[in-house]
Amino acid sequence: MPASRAGLFESLRQLLHTALSLGAVRLELLATDLEIEKLRLIEVALRALVGLMLLGLGLLLLVGFLLLLLWDGYRLPALGVLTLLCLGGGLALLQAAKRRLRKGEPMFAATRAEFERDQAALRPPPQ
C-alpha cells in the first residue's frame, strides 16, 4: 500500500507541476499579447501625431500661399506644391493610422486560441 500511495502522491505532484507550468506559459503569452497591443497603439499614436503635424504645417503654408497670391513671381508654384505635399502626406498618415487601428487583431487572440486548444485536448474523445 505505501508504494501505491507514494506513486499516487508523485502523480499528483507531477500533475500540479504540469498545471503550474501550463499556467506560467499562458501568463507569458498574455504578457506578450499585451506588449503587442501596446506597440500597435504607440504606432497608431505616432502616425496620428505626425499626420496632425503635417496637416497643421499644410494649413500654415496654405495661408501663406493665399497671402502671396497677390504678389508676382515664381514663389507661388513652389509654395503651392509644398502645401499640397504636406496636406496630402498628413491625410495619408491619418488614413494609415485609422486603417491600422481597425485592422488590429482582437485583444488576446493568441491566448484565447491556446486556451481553446487546451480545452479541446482535455475533452473526452467521442465514443
Q: Where are the domains of the chain?
A: 33-104
| Cα–Cα distance for residue pair 51/99, rounded to 1 Å | 14
User: What per-residue confidence (pLDDT) applies to 64?
Assistant: 81
- Under 8 Å between Cβ of 30 and 76: no
Nearest alpha-carbon partner for 114 in 16, 18, 30: 30
| Cα–Cα distance for residue pair 55/85, rounded to 1 Å | 10
Each residue's pLDDT tens digit, 44-80: 999 999 999 999 899 888 878 877 776 777 777 778 8
Each residue's pLDDT tens digit, 85-111: 888 988 999 899 888 888 866 766 777
Tell if the pTM clears 0.75, that is, is over it: no
Decide which of 100 and 125 is more confident: 100
| Cα–Cα distance for residue pair 12/35, rounded to 1 Å | 35
93 burial level (CB within 10 Å; 0-12, 13-18, 19+): buried
| Helix-, strand-, coil-residue percentages of the chain, each rounded to 5 | 85, 0, 15
